C-alpha cells in the first residue's frame, strides 16, 4: 500500500469517498496521516503499544464516521481530534503509572528555532518556552491539543482542579512575559 | 498551505522526540496546516510499525461487524466462525420468524374460544420449528448452497448448527404461544418431546433425501397420524405418557445416530439440471 | 499430469439425459467446455465440483475418488468452484460474503482467514468495493465476487461455470487476464458458449452437444477442421451451414461454397459452427 502512485484527491474528497466505502481512498488517507499522528501522539504517551492501539481505534473510527465530518476546517484537525480523545480514553481505562507520561523536559532552544517560533507564534512561543514543564504541559493539552479541562486532566494524570490552577498560573505568567 | 516549511533537521528532531517543547509546539501547529511537511514526516517513521498498524486497521475495517446474536454466541463460548454460520441461517431473518409466531399466536388465541382447537395446537406446535428447519435449507432461500456444497465443511455439521439455531429461536416462540392457552400448563409443554423427536427423525432422513423433503415427510406423517385422534378428543398420541416416552426414545436414538455419523454422512443434494 | 479424469460418465435427470457416456481429461492449464445451452457442460462441471455424482462412470479428481467421503473432503479442500448462478446473501458485504465461504472452506483461524480474504479481494480488483453490500453491486462486480471466493485457499483445481457471462467487453478482458493467470500451475476447467473466450484462454477444448463430447483437442486443431470450408463471396450460399454478411459487405459462408466465392482462413467460431451444424444434421437424420 505504500508504493502506489500518489492519489491526486484532496483529503476532503478522500473522506467523501471513504464515506462511500472506498477502501483505496482510506488507504491513501491512512498513508498521509498516520505518520504525523504517530509522532504527535507518541509525544503524549510513553507507551508505543498504547499509541499503536489508539491509532488503530482512531482510523477505524475515521472509516466508520467519515460521513459525519462536518466539512469545515482541516481534515487533519478532525482526525487529530479523534486521535487525542481516543488517547485520553485509553489512558483513563489503563490508568497509567506516572512515568508513562512524557516529561516535557526543557531542552535548549537554538537561534533558528527561535526564529521558527516567532514565525508561528511570535513572542508567545518564546514565552511558552520559558514556562515550567508542568505548566507548559497544561497549556499544550488545553490550548494546542484542544482538550477540555477534564480531558486534559485525564491525559496528564492529574486532578481537574490542578489543571485549572496550573492554567491560571500559566496565563498569569504568559501575560506578564508578553506585557 | 503556508508559504514556508519546517526544515529537515527540525522535522527529524521533532519526529525523534528530541525537539524542545517550543519547537515541538510550533511544529505541531504548522503540521496541522501543511500537507507537505506532514508528508515529510513519513520518512522519519518506522515503516514496519506503520504497516503493522495498517494491518490491524484493515482487518477491523473489512471484517464483518458481528451482529448482536453473533456477539452473544461468542460470549457463550461459541467459536467466531460458527457464530458467523449461524448468523447466515436464512430462517433467522425476520419475516419467517414473524410468520411462525403469527400462526401460533392465532392458533393459541383460537384455542381460547374452542377447546378442540387446544388439541390442534398440540398438533400444530411442532410444525413451527420443523418449518424453520426446512426453510434453513430450502435452496431458494440459501442462495450459497451450491458454493457451500463444494466446500469441505461437513454438511451434517452445518445442518446441525442451523437446526440448533432455528430451534433456539422458534421453541421459545411456541412456548410463549403455549402459555396463552387456557387450562393446564403441562399440555402447553407436551409438544416439546414430539418436536425434538420429529426434528431428529427428519435429520436422520437427510441421509436419504434432501432436508426439505425429509422435513416434509416427517411433518406429513405427524399430521396424518395425530389430527384425527386429536380432533376426536384423544390426546394419547400427542401428550399421553406412552407417546411422550416414545418421542423421548426417538430423540435419543436420532441423537445417537447423528453423533455416530456426524462427519461421514453425505447430505443429499437437491436435484437440478 | 492429469488432474481431472472422467470415464463413461452418464447422468440423467428424470427422462432427460444430461450427460451421455462422456470421457474427459484435464491437466495443468485452462480447459474449456464449449457448447450450446443444455449441452451438458454444467452437469459435467457440477460433477467435477463434487456437488453431483454421475449415475454411471468413474470420476477421478486430483487423484482421488469423489464417491468416497474421505476422498471427497480432501478434494474439496483443494477445489474452487464458481457455479453458473452463484447466489449471494445479498445483505452481506463483499468481504463478509467471501469470509463466509472461507469459513465453509474450514479456515478457522480468524486472522489467517481475513488475510486470505483480503488476498483474493485484491487479486480480483474488488478492494475498492470490499465494504459494500453485494446487493449494491453491478452484475460484473458480482461475477468477480464469485471468482474471488473460488480462488480462496489457492486451490489446485478451479471449476468455473460460465465465468464471463453477463460481462461487458472490458470486464470480459479483465476476467480473461485473471483466469489465465489462475491457470498458471493450476488446473482450470471452465465452460462458455463464447468462442472468443475459449480461443483466447484455453489450451484444450471439449465441444459438447446434447450430452456428448463431439471434439477434444487444442483450439488450433478445432480451427483446422474448418480449413477449406469457409468462403467469402458476394452472396449468401443456400448450401452453407451458416452465412452472414460481415462489416465490409462480404458474405462469410461456412460449409459448402457458393458460386464464385473465395476460400478464406477459418476461425475457431467457424469450426464450432460447422461442428454444431453437422451434429445437428446427424441428430435430426438419425
Of the listed ranges A36-45, B134-143, C241-250, the least confidently predicted one is: B134-143
In the block, which residue shows the cell 420429529? B198
Provide the pLDDT for residue C49: 93
Confidence grade of residue A5 (pLDDT, cut at 50, 70, 90): low
Residue A163 — φ and ψ, nearest 5°?
-55, -45
- Summarize pLDDT for C14-62 with one digit per residue, the tens: 888 899 999 999 999 999 999 888 889 999 999 999 988 899 999 999 9
Cβ-proximal residues to C104 (8 Å cutoff; 6+ apart), any chain:
B85, B147, B148, B151, B152, B153, B158
Q: What is the average pLDDT across A134-138?
A: 86
Domain boundaries, chain C: 1-78+155-217, 86-152, 223-285
Q: Is the pLDDT of residue C216 over 90?
A: yes
Provide the pLDDT for residue C274: 85
Residue B84 with chain C: CB contacts under 8 Å: 99-100, 103
Q: What is the average pLDDT across B203-221?
A: 82
More confident residue, B232 or B271: B232
Does residue A23 belong to the interface with chain C, where contact is any CB pair within 8 Å?
yes
8 Å CB contact between A95 and A157 = yes
Residue C254 — φ and ψ, nearest 5°?
-110, 120
Q: Is the pLDDT of residue C149 over 60?
A: yes
As a CATH number, domain A106-179 is 1.10.10.10
When computed from its CA atoms, the radius of gyration of chain B, rounded to whole angstroms, is 30
Most confidently modeled of A28-37, A87-96, A125-134, B131-140? A28-37
Most confidently modeled of B143-152, B228-237, C204-213? C204-213
Contact A129 B52 (CB under 8 A): no
- Summarize pLDDT for C243-277 with one digit per residue, the tens: 777 777 777 888 776 667 788 888 888 888 888 88
Classified as helix, coil or strand, C234 is coil
Nearest chain A residue to C127, by CA = A23
Residue among C126, C127, C128 with most chain A CBs within 10 A, to mutate: C128
Quote the mean pLDDT of chain C: 86
Does residue A24 belong to the interface with chain C, where contact is any CB pair within 8 Å?
yes
Q: What is the average pLDDT across B173-187?
A: 69
Confidence grade of residue A33 (pLDDT, cut at 50, 70, 90): very high
- The domain A1-102 having CATH identifier 1.10.1740.10: the answer here is yes
Q: Using CB atoms within 10 A of its CB, is residue C157 exposed (0-12), middle (13-18) or buried (19+)?
A: buried
Confidence grade of residue B237 (pLDDT, cut at 50, 70, 90): low
Confidence grade of residue C76 (pLDDT, cut at 50, 70, 90): very high
- Summarize pLDDT for A62-91 with one digit per residue, the tens: 998 888 888 778 899 899 999 999 998 888
Does residue C131 belong to the interface with chain B, where contact is any CB pair within 8 Å?
yes
Cβ-proximal residues to B166 (8 Å cutoff; 6+ apart), any chain:
B89, B91, B92, B129, B132, B133, B135, B136
Contact C81 B152 (CB under 8 A): no
As a CATH number, domain C1-78+155-217 is 3.40.50.300
- Summarize pLDDT for C219-246 with one digit per residue, the tens: 999 998 888 888 887 777 777 777 777 7
Contact C43 B273 (CB under 8 A): yes
Domain boundaries, chain A: 1-102, 106-179
More confident residue, B265 or C140: C140
Dist. CA A13–CA A10, nearest whole Å:
5
Residue among A113, A135, A138, A143 with most chain B CBs within 10 A, to mutate: A113
Contact A36 B54 (CB under 8 A): no
Amino acid at each position: 500500500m505504500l508504493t502506489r502512485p500518489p492519489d491526486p484527491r484532496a483529503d476532503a474528497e478522500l473522506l467523501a469517498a471513504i464515506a462511500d466505502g472506498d477502501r483505496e481512498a482510506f488507504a491513501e488517507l491512512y498513508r498521509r496521516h498516520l505518520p504525523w499522528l504517530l509522532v504527535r501522539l507518541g509525544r503524549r504517551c510513553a507507551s508505543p503499544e498504547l499509541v499503536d492501539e489508539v491509532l488503530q481505534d482512531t482510523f477505524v473510527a475515521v472509516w466508520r464516521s467519515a460521513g459525519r465530518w462536518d466539512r469545515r476546517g482541516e481534515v487533519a484537525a478532525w482526525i487529530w481530534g479523534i486521535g487525542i480523545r481516543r488517547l485520553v480514553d485509553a489512558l483513563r481505562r489503563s490508568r497509567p503509572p506516572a512515568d508513562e507520561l512524557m516529561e516535557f523536559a526543557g531542552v535548549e532552544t537554538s537561534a533558528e528555532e527561535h526564529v521558527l517560533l516567532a514565525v508561528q507564534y511570535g513572542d508567545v512561543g518564546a514565552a511558552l518556552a520559558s514556562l515550567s514543564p508542568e505548566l507548559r504541559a497544561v497549556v499544550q493539552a488545553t490550548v494546542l491539543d484542544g482538550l477540555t479541562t477534564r480531558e486534559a486532566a485525564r491525559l496528564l494524570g492529574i486532578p481537574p482542579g490542578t489543571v485549572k490552577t496550573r492554567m491560571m498560573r500559566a496565563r498569569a505568567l504568559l501575560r506578564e512575559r508578553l506585557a | 498551505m503556508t508559504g514556508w516549511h519546517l526544515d529537515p533537521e527540525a522535522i527529524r528532531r521533532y519526529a525523534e522526540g528530541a525537539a524542545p517543547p517550543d519547537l515541538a509546539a510550533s511544529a505541531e501547529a504548522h503540521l496541522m496546516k501543511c500537507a507537505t511537511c506532514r508528508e515529510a514526516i513519513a520518512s522519519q517513521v518506522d515503516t514496519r510499525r506503520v504497516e503493522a498498524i495498517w494491518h490491524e486497521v484493515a482487518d477491523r475495517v473489512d471484517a464483518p461487524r458481528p451482529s448482536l446474536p453473533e456477539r452473544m454466541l461468542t460470549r457463550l463460548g461459541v467459536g467466531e466462525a460458527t457464530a458467523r454460520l449461524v448468523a447466515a441461517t436464512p430462517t433467522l431473518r425476520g419475516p419467517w420468524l414473524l410468520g411462525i409466531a403469527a400462526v401460533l399466536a392465532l392458533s393459541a388465541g383460537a384455542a381460547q374460544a374452542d377447546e378442540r382447537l387446544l388439541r390442534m395446537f398440540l398438533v400444530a406446535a411442532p410444525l413451527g420449528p420443523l418449518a424453520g428447519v426446512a426453510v434453513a435449507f430450502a435452496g431458494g432461500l440459501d442462495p450459497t448452497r451450491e458454493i457451500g456444497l463444494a466446500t469441505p465443511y461437513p454438511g451434517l455439521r452445518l445442518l446441525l448448527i442451523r437446526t440448533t439455531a432455528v430451534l433456539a429461536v422458534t421453541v421459545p416462540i411456541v412456548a410463549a404461544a403455549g402459555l396463552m392457552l387456557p387450562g393446564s400448563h403441562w399440555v402447553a409443554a407436551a409438544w416439546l418431546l414430539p418436536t425434538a423427536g420429529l426434528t431428529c427423525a427428519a435429520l436422520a432422513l437427510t441421509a436419504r433425501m434432501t432436508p426439505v423433503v425429509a422435513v416434509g415427510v416427517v411433518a406429513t406423517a405427524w399430521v396424518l397420524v395425530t389430527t384425527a385422534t386429536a380432533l376426536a378428543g384423544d390426546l394419547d398420541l400427542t401428550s399421553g405418557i406412552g407417546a411422550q416416552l416414545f418421542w423421548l426414545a426417538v430423540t435419543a436414538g436420532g441423537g445417537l445416530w447423528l453423533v455416530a455419523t456426524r462427519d461421514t454422512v453425505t447430505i443429499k443434494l437437491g436435484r437440478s439440471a | 499430469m492429469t488432474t481431472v479424469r472422467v470415464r463413461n460418465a452418464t447422468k440423467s435427470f428424470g427422462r432427460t439425459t444430461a450427460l451421455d457416456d462422456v470421457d474427459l481429461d484435464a491437466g495443468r492449464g485452462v480447459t474449456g467446455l464449449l457448447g450450446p445451452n443444455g449441452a451438458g457442460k454444467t452437469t459435467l462441471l457440477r460433477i467435477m465440483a463434487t456437488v453431483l455424482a454421475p449415475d454411471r462412470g468413474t470420476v477421478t479428481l486430483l487423484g482421488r475418488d469423489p464417491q468416497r467421503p474421505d476422498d471427497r473432503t480432501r478434494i474439496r479442500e483443494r477445489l474452487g468452484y464458481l457455479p453458473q448462478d452463484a447466489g449471494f446473501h445479498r445483505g452481506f458485504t463483499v468481504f463478509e460474503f467471501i469470509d463466509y465461504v472461507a469459513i465453509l472452506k474450514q479456515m478457522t483461524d480468524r486472522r489467517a482467514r481475513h488475510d486470505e480474504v483480503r488476498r483474493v479481494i485484491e487479486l480480483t480488483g474488488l478492494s475498492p468495493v470490499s465494504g459494500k453490500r453485494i446487493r449494491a453491486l453491478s452484475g460484473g462486480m458480482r461475477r468477480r465476487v464469485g471468482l474471488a471466493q473460488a480462488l480462496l485457499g489457492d486451490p489446485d483445481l478451479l471449476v468455473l461455470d460460465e465465468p464471463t457471462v453477463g460481462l461487458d467487453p472490458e470486464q470480459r478482458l479483465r476476467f480473461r487476464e485473471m483466469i489465465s493467470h489462475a491457470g498458471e500451475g493450476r488446473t482450470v476447467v471452465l465452460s462458455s458458449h463464447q468462442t472468443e473466450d475459449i480461443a483466447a484462454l484455453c489450451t484444450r477444448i471439449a465441444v459438447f452437444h446434447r450430452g456428448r463430447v463431439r471434439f477434444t483437442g487444442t483450439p488450433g486443431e478445432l480451427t483446422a477442421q474448418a480449413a477449406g470450408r469457409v468462403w467469402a463471396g458476394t452472396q449468401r450460399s443456400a448450401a452453407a451451414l451458416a452465412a452472414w454478411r460481415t462489416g465490409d459487405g462480404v458474405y462469410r459462408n461456412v460449409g459448402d461454397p457458393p458460386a464464385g466465392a473465395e476460400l478464406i482462413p477459418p476461425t475457431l467460431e467457424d469450426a464450432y459452427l460447422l461442428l454444431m451444424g453437422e451434429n445437428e444434421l446427424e441428430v435430426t437424420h438419425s
